[in-house]
């Protein structure tokens, strides 16, 4: 089987279930695992490099208002790959090539590749997408084993949270910012991640989209801890934005602020979301997150 993955998350899943050798085409954002970078790139972004968060927000809003695509699919590269399966999404126009663009390209090329749409909104649906990709690639057993390992890790977090609560630990109010200029509240699976980690998500709704918020709303949410998780940013970049945010005075004073690797463990609906849950649980417990998962700003 020859697979083209147009989502970093599905690329990650495909490699994790042993289908990496089947992957022949990826996007410019598919950087995990490192082997994925060796595959042919078939989609790129229309977003100029070097923009600030506010400039990115303005560019995205203008493009969507004009009905322009934010991602470009290289139909020529796709034709040369002779794919049997193309994996894409229609969840977020800001995240990847839309399924309609893929179908139009395949129709134009006269290619009969199957198009599989992966659109998880919750953690359960993310785990379900692992099983879906397992079935689509003939890797059912490895997919089921991966889901079992991820569920076991999540259960360990639940057990640790329950133990802390039995010992009298309070449930802190956690604010996660998926964008910093302007502020965006968390959506989709992130509020679930916060709750699983033992905190209350002050803004945002599980399974819903991320929405813009005024800084007055942010302050009024009275968080006990703030987590800066800007979509698409790794830890060093998120740390820089978190420091700028602290310096701006927009956040409630004297509240702990953490930066996390949003690109790896929060924004992409793949196996590493469980890493994100474990990172948040460590923050709630007052422990140091493992590895280079997070960094405290104040």
276-288: pLDDT as tens digits = 999 999 999 988 8
Assigned domain for 234 exists: yes
Return the CATH number at 238: 3.40.50.1980
Side by side, the strands of the sheet bearing 179-180 are 179-180, 183-184, 212-213
Entry pTM = 0.92
241-270: pLDDT as tens digits = 999 999 999 999 999 999 999 999 999 999
Mark whether 77 and 186 lie in a shared domain: no
Assigned domain for 139 exists: no
Q: Could you give the angle at the alpha carbon of 35 between the alpha carbons of 95 and 82, nearest 5°?
A: 70
Residue span of the structural domain in which 242 resides: 166-296
- The answer to whether the CB of 131 falls within 8 A of the CB of 147 is yes
Q: How many domains would you assign to the chain? A: 2
Mark whether 111 and 223 lie in a shared domain: no
Assigned domain for 138 exists: no
Per-residue pLDDT of the chain (298 residues; tens, 9 = 90+): 999 998 999 999 999 999 999 999 999 999 999 999 999 998 888 888 899 999 998 988 887 777 777 777 777 777 778 889 989 876 545 455 555 555 555 554 456 778 888 989 999 999 999 999 999 999 999 999 999 999 999 999 999 999 999 999 999 999 999 999 999 999 999 999 999 999 999 999 998 889 999 999 999 999 999 999 999 999 999 999 999 999 999 999 999 999 999 999 999 999 999 999 999 999 999 888 876 789 999 9
> How high is the mean pLDDT of the chain?
90
Q: Which two tokens stand for residue 221?
A: 């949410």
């Amino acid at each position: 089987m020859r697979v083209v993955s147009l989502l970093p998350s599905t690329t990650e899943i495909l490699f994790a279930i042993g289908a990496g050798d089947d992957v022949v085409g990826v996007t410019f954002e598919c950087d995990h695992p490192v082997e994925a970078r060796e595959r042919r790139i078939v989609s790129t972004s229309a977003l100029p490099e070097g923009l600030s968060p506010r400039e990115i927000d303005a560019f995205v809003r203008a493009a969507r208002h004009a009905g322009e695509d934010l991602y470009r699919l290289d139909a020529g590269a796709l034709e040369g790959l002779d794919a049997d399966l193309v994996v894409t999404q229609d969840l977020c126009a800001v995240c990847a090539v839309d399924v309609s663009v893929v179908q139009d390209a395949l129709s134009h090329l006269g290619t009969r590749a199957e198009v599989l749409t992966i659109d998880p909104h919750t953690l359960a649906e993310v785990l379900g997408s692992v099983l879906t990709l397992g079935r689509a690639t003939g890797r059912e057993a490895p997919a089921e084993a991966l889901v079992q390992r991820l569920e076991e890790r999540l259960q360990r977090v639940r057990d640790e949270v329950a133990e802390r609560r039995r010992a009298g630990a309070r449930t802190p109010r956690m604010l996660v910012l998926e964008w910093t200029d302007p502020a965006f509240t968390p959506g989709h699976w992130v509020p679930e991640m916060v709750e699983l980690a033992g905190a209350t998500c002050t803004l945002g709704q599980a399974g819903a989209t991320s929405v813009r918020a005024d800084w007055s709303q942010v302050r009024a949410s009275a968080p006990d801890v703030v987590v800066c998780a800007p979509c698409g940013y790794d830890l060093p970049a998120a740390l820089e934005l978190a420091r700028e945010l602290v310096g701006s005075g927009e956040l409630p004073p004297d509240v702990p602020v953490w930066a996390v690797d949003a690109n790896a463990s929060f924004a992409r609906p793949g196996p590493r979301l469980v890493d994100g849950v474990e990172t948040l649980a460590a923050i709630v417990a007052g422990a140091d997150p493992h590895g280079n998962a997070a960094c405290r700003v104040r």
